[in-house]
């Protein structure tokens, strides 16, 4: 388990879809319970399962066993209870919850590696459909401002056709909160088959993602958020993309030439437009 995980709760949610039915019962118990006696004997008796099942559940979270899980879980629960002060608005509470989960899911080493990959890519395509398409457009524009060759592809047919334009020194970034955007996932899969670097921003930690794509960047999970719960379903992705952009921005400024060139070109265009008026 990476030391960057301050809470085990977001990881339980991210791994949920990959669990067996018995493990899902265990996961739901720990997401909801306020019980104090969390010994393997007490929990297995309450859930009508075996102590070995608890161990297997803990190992699905990349922990050594149930004892380590309970230690991390109790710490996580203390943090959660300490932060459960009502702000008087479900909007504020939801934003705070997602921000905290995002912090717990942020792995700085993975983001540092991804920054290097992006900067070494000759061209970057960003795939997204629906509201994720809006994010793809915005993020690709921000990459262009850094002097990178980037393009958003948000039409479902064009995503599937875009594989004919891909080369091995390109990168494809896909945004799919639920992991159910078939065109985005299939577009990434085709890119991976061609040896192109692939990145998926998604809220569920399915093992098949890691087996297929080079980078899987986890987003904070909130039940029913993909159906526009009470806030934008893209908020978790916005947070992590902002983190990625900030790292790219800082890295670009240290060497800076291309970034300043793009800024100067933009200023020149504005000046020419003003002169024309």
The string of pLDDT tens digits covering residues 102-120 is 888 888 899 999 999 999 9
The string of pLDDT tens digits covering residues 47-105 is 888 989 999 998 888 888 888 888 888 877 765 554 555 445 677 778 888 888 888 88
Closest CA to 187 of 160, 166, 165: 160
Q: Is 234 or 85 the better-scoring residue by pLDDT? A: 234
Inter-CA distances, 139 with 9, 66, 97, 128, 173, Å: 29, 40, 24, 11, 10
- Where along the chain do the CATH 1.10.10 domains lie? 9-84
Does residue 28 have a pLDDT over 50? yes
Token pair 């792995």 is found at 107
Please tell me the predicted confidence (pLDDT) of residue 172. 98
As a whole number of angstroms, the distance between CA 21 and CA 13 comes to: 14
Task: Give the percent of the chain with pLDDT over 90.
Answer: 39
Does residue 258 have a pLDDT over 90? no
As a whole number of angstroms, the distance between CA 218 and CA 200 comes to: 8
- Where along the chain do the CATH 3.40.50.10490 domains lie? 106-267
Residues present in the chain in total:
277
Homologous superfamily of the 106-267 domain (CATH): Glucose-6-phosphate isomerase like protein; domain 1 (3.40.50.10490)
As a whole number of angstroms, the distance between CA 77 and CA 70 comes to: 10
Closest CA to 218 of 172, 178, 159: 178
As a whole number of angstroms, the distance between CA 253 and CA 259 comes to: 7
- 9-84 has which CATH code? 1.10.10
The string of pLDDT tens digits covering residues 129-168 is 988 999 999 999 999 988 899 999 999 999 999 999 999 9
End-to-end CA distance of the chain: 60
As a whole number of angstroms, the distance between CA 176 and CA 201 comes to: 6
Does residue 24 have a pLDDT over 50? yes
Enter the DSSP assignment of 225: G
């Amino acid at each position: 388990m990476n030391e960057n995980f301050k809470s085990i709760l977001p990881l339980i949610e991210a791994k949920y879809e990959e669990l067996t039915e018995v493990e899902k019962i265990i996961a739901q118990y720990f997401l909801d319970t306020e019980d104090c006696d969390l010994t393997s004997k007490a929990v297995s008796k309450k859930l009508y399962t075996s102590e070995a099942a608890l161990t297997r559940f803990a190992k699905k979270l990349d922990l050594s066993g149930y004892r380590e899980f309970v230690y991390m879980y109790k710490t996580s629960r203390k943090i959660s209870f300490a932060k459960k002060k009502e702000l008087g608005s479900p909007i504020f509470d939801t934003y705070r919850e997602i921000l905290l989960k995002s912090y717990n899911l942020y792995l700085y080493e993975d983001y540092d590696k991804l920054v290097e990959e992006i900067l070494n890519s000759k061209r970057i395509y960003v795939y997204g459909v629906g509201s994720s398409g809006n994010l793809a457009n915005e993020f690709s524009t921000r990459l262009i401002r850094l002097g990178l060759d980037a393009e958003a592809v948000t039409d479902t047919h064009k995503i599937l056709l875009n594989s004919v334009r891909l080369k091995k020194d390109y990168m494809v970034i896909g945004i799919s909160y639920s992991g159910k955007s078939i065109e985005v996932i299939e577009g990434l899969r085709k890119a991976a088959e061609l040896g192109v670097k692939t990145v998926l921003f998604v809220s569920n930690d399915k093992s098949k993602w890691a087996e297929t794509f080079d980078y899987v960047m986890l987003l904070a999970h909130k039940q029913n958020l993909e159906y526009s719960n009470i806030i934008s379903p893209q908020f978790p992705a916005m947070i992590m993309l902002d983190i990625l952009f900030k790292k790219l921005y800082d890295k670009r400024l240290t060497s800076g030439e291309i970034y300043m060139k793009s800024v100067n070109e933009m200023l020149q265009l504005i000046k020419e437009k003003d002169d024309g008026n």
